[in-house]
Amino acid sequence: MTFMSYLRFYLNFIIFLFMGLSALFIVFQPIPEIRLEDLSLVSFYRYGILLVLFTLGIIFIVLRKVLLTQYKNEESKFWNFIYFPHLKEEIRLLLYTWNDTFMGNCCVRLLDFIILKNNRIFYLIIHFILFNIIPFIQSLFLINFVFFCGELKYALYLLPISFLTWCLSFIDYYFNTFITQSGNYIRAVLYVELDPSIKKNTNQTNIITCNISDLRCKLTDYAIQEGFTEHDLSDLATKWLQLNHISIDFERYLKRVSYFKYLNLALRMLCWSGIIYKCISPA
């Protein structure tokens, strides 16, 4: 596992190095007109490797889901070994060394900002633009380049922004983990029940809409060990409700944009396939 951690970290470093150098090159050097027939043989091999890797990744995920469904009662050490540690998890562990001095304070302030519904919507809109719309626009430029005799430079112009969003994705992962761990902690120190009359008012998604007055809260044994008293109940109940609202909205958002990510991946693979076909097809 330590060796896998070492490899994953340096894979991040290699991606950072190549994307960073490419972004700097595009910023400081004019991009020539590049059409599909102008691509070098090295570029064709690169896109071919990407296509193979992503195809194997999709097969891997499908097999994992099938096997876990078939043997859901058995713990698979093999899958845990393959998936641990994640690329982003490696960087999160490094950033966590600054949690008490910098990262934690930033996450708390951002969490306080998105507590308000309107602020949360604004945050998710910016998130959607950075991590979904920009890659989608780049995919459209690639489609124009591969299938409509367009120029590659329009897609390359977005590479510095793609590099920025790739870097921000680690911060986004850290913040999402912070929200999850905060929610787990608040649920560990606070036992919450709803008023019996509220339990019947659920919607089709089994989500209950309630106010702070509808909650019946008490401290757990773990909370007492942590030093909380009855005077903290009101603040803890407020945090419990706020974190649940945030978690539900984030879960809904991620579920909806996942389809958009699949579409974007399909467009990329279609472009890579078109490039490979152009390379191997007779003139």
Give pLDDT, residue 26. 85
Q: Distance (Å, rounded) from C-alpha 110 to C-alpha 119?
A: 10
Residue 217, beta-bridge partner list: 192
Give pLDDT, residue 156. 86
Give pLDDT, residue 185. 93
Per-residue pLDDT of the chain (283 residues; tens, 9 = 90+): 577 777 878 888 888 998 888 888 888 888 788 888 878 788 888 888 888 888 887 787 777 766 665 555 444 555 555 555 477 888 898 899 999 889 999 999 999 999 999 999 999 999 999 999 999 999 999 999 888 888 888 888 888 999 999 999 999 999 999 999 999 999 999 998 877 766 555 555 566 666 677 778 889 999 999 888 888 888 988 899 899 899 999 999 999 898 888 899 899 989 888 888 887 775 5
Contact 217, 192 (CB under 8 A): yes
Could you tell me which residues come within 8 angstroms of residue 195 by beta carbon, excluding any fewer than 6 positions away?
210, 214, 215, 216
Token digits of residue 1:
């596992």
pTM above 0.85, yes or no: no
Q: Distance (Å, rounded) from C-alpha 19 to C-alpha 97?
A: 25
Q: Do β-strands 215-219 and 190-194 pair in parallel, antiparallel, or remain unpaired?
A: antiparallel
227: region left, alpha or beta (phi > 0 left; psi from -120 to 50 alpha): left
Long-range contacts of 108-113 (CB under 8 A, 24+ apart): 110/175, 111/178, 111/179, 111/182, 111/246
What residue type is 107 in one-letter code?
C
Give pLDDT, residue 69. 58
Give pLDDT, residue 73. 47
Domain count, the chain: 1
H/E stretch holding 241: helix 233-280
Instruction: Write out the residue range of the structural domain in which residue 168 sits.
Output: 2-280
Could you tell me which residues come within 8 angstroms of residue 275 by beta carbon, excluding any fewer than 6 positions away?
36, 39, 43, 44, 47, 146
